[in-house]
Amino acid sequence: MLKSIIGKKVGMSQVFDDKGNLIPVTVVEAGPCIVTNVRTVEKDGYSAVQLGFGSVKEKNLNKSLKGFFKENNVEPKKFIKEFRVQDAKEFSIGQEIKADIFKAGDYVDVCALTKGKGYAGVIKRHNFGMQPTTHGQSDRTRARGSSGGQGPQKVLKGMRMSGHLGNEYVTIQKLRIVNVDVQKNVLLIKGAVPAVKRGTLFISSTVKKVPVVQEVRAVKAKKK
């Protein structure tokens, strides 16, 4: 079964659970997505499903993409992404994937392009501490200091310095789905996700072990 979808970040909000606890959530428009291609082990060497999301004008596509959508007889899509599955034969080109593949309580990994923040110093980029503001340091309080150290007097590879911040793909793992609106294709995901508002999100079932619910632990403790 495919537990992946392409979505769009709508914004942040907050909801109350059954116990009255306030939960910050990210509102995500998840799908509907169209299966634009199917990869099989016999033909391609691996099993995957290619999904398309978002409308785009045909004049904005290059010649190869125009031919690809025309050959598969599907509507042109703005974003295309492949997701691995165990058996891709159960899917067909043109099939629609909606938000109902998820349910409340599922844990997902969300991947997206983060907001670009341009050139940043080490305090903003790497959370360095500031230098003392005393003894005449008028313009060096946010400087990184010496880049040399013990041993070879050279800048070693991987040294944390100033540079470009953001505008890179980041994955946030083990985010819980609070609610699913099947009619509107909307997911409410607890916490923050990468990407700017209206940015594209790639959502998949988490690859990590799902944490044990605290309520189950409390019930077991009472029985003892």
The predicted model scores a pTM of 0.80
**Quick one: pLDDT at residue 215?**
45
Q: Which domains does the chain have, with CATH numbers?
A: 4-116+169-223 (2.40.30.10), 117-165 (no CATH)
Torsion sign, CA atoms 57, 63, 65, 70? positive
Determine how many CB atoms are found less than 10 A away from the CB of residue 183.
8
97: Cβ contacts below 8 Å, ≥ 6 apart = 2, 5, 31, 32, 33, 34, 35, 51
φ/ψ of 83, rounded to 5, equals -130, 130
What does the block give as tokens for 131?
């230098």
Decide: helix, strand or coil at residue 42: helix
- Give the separation between CA 144 and CA 120, rounded to whole angstroms: 12
**Quick one: pLDDT at residue 110?**
93
Per DSSP, 61 falls in state: S
What does the block give as tokens for 36?
């634009």
Lookup result for tokens 């793909």: 169
The rounded average pLDDT for each run of 10 residues, N- to C-terminus, in the chain (224 residues) is 88 90 92 88 88 87 88 87 86 88 90 93 92 81 79 80 93 92 91 90 87 54 54
**Quick one: pLDDT at residue 55?**
85
- Give the separation between CA 224 and CA 208, rounded to whole angstroms: 30
